[in-house]
Amino acid sequence: MSRQVVIAVAALLFGVILLAILGIGIAVLVTVLNQKYSSGGSVVGTTTEATAPAVSYSPESDRFAKNLFSRINFSVDPCEDFYEYACGRWAESNPVPAYLSSWSEYTKVSMQVSQDVKNAIENADLATSSEGVKKTKHFYDKCMDAKASEELKGTKLGALLHSGVSEDPSLPGFDKGSGKWPLIDKSYKGNVKWEQRIGHSKNPLASTPSCSPTPSSTPCNPTKRSSGSQAKCCPSASGS
């Protein structure tokens, strides 16, 4: 056998062995990948498996989820009537309170917000609160002090209306003692125009006067404007 034939046979055998090794390696790799994917795993170094989002289990999110779930009408096909599917059980799970004539999601949320604000004011830590929160709590506590209101019986408001001077010097009063109220003060001899009095009640006192003129459109003819007036029993006063 010549030297060339020996070399050719050796090269052929080497090639066959190399192909066999390569084939075995590919087979092993395919087997491993199939096992990984079939078991729900992921290949190291790849991003085929999505990262699960963080789930919140706070009391607020739990309450919202239950509220949302309670209004869904699962007996309705959402493709036929999505509104009935999404909100069909709202009236059933949200009966009208006995003290109200109507009930809606807006009213429900509004009352919840009012309750949350009330709780926040009552539980405010004045040691760390801003000046605005401190004033708000002071005003709230004064308004809710039924005992003090019953004892005073409007004397502070009466003093302001008789003298035009606020009990608290830091609060605005009426210019030049013009706060006297003719209806309750027999000694009143002023000649202040009622328009001026209402204007001063709104600014700087920021209170609602007994008569509030407001421009509005005429119902029968929207192009015309008219002046309406809403009368009240007594002006609401701001101050101490």
Mean pLDDT by 10 residues, the chain (240 residues): 65 70 70 62 50 73 85 92 91 87 87 91 89 89 86 76 70 61 66 68 62 61 59 43
Structural domain for 26, as ranges: 1-35
Q: Is residue 176 part of a domain?
A: yes
pTM, two decimals, is 0.44
* Among 239, 73, 237, residue whose Cα is nearest residue 171: 239
pLDDT at 43: 47
By CB atoms closer than 10 A (0-12, 13-18, 19+), residue 115 is exposed
pLDDT at 158: 73
Q: Is residue 87 part of a domain?
A: yes
- Determine the length of the chain: 240
Whether residue 182 has a cis bond before it, omega within 30° of 0: no
- How many domains is the chain partitioned into structurally? 3
pLDDT at 238: 40
Q: Is residue 6 part of a domain?
A: yes
pLDDT at 129: 87
pLDDT at 84: 92
Q: Is residue 177 part of a domain?
A: yes
Q: Is residue 86 part of a domain?
A: yes
Q: Is residue 163 part of a domain?
A: yes
pLDDT at 152: 79
* Among 189, 224, 192, 187, residue whose Cα is nearest residue 209: 192
Q: Is residue 26 part of a domain?
A: yes
Cα three-residue angle 217-221-224, rounded to 5 degrees: 50
Cα 4 from Cα 10, distance rounded (Å): 10
Q: Is residue 208 part of a domain?
A: no
